[in-house]
Amino acid sequence: MKLHKKSIRCSLILLLTVCFMIPSMANAFGGFNKNHHSRDGRAFFDLDTSKMNSESLPFVLGGILMTYQELEEMDITPDFVVTFRGLNTGILTYASTSDEVQGMVSTLAQLGVAVQVCAKANYLSEVNPDDIIGEIGIIDNAWITSMQLQNKRHGYAYITF
């Protein structure tokens, strides 16, 4: 079991590293020209907690924070929504998260990022909403939020994990 967790952690780190290197590599090879691309920084991060654990959560949140900062460096105003769903929302409780994760959630909230968890997922995961980290808002249905954010009127880019 220990080897399996280590393999998952290494795979996650490799995946996140590649995802965050691609924009830098494209820029280095002339593939990105900020003067000719959209200035829109709207992104919707759909995070399935059933694919996460307390060890992977800091990497995912750290990647979102890094993306936010990189957009700002490109003079693009980030407008992010982060929504958690899935059958492991217990990783978002005070009892289950580290100070590091709580700090990242707090930083995202201070930046104006809407960080949310699905009430239906909490119910199915048997998580008391009062135990969820305070800066995380509770929404009724993450799928409905996803549909609304991706439609043409709102036009958020869809990013999933």
User: Which residue type sits at 37?
Assistant: H
Distance of alpha carbon 93 from alpha carbon 155, whole angstroms: 30
Nearest alpha carbon to residue 142 among 40, 57, 44, 43 = 44
pTM: 0.75
- How does pLDDT run across 111-151, given as a tens digit for each residue? 999 999 999 999 999 999 999 999 999 999 999 999 888 88
**What is each CA distance from 117 to 26, 62, 96, 98, 137, in whole angstroms?**
33, 18, 15, 18, 6
Query: Which residue ranges form the domains of the chain, and what is each CATH number?
Result: 35-160 (3.40.1260.10)
> Is 60 exceeded by the pLDDT of residue 44?
yes
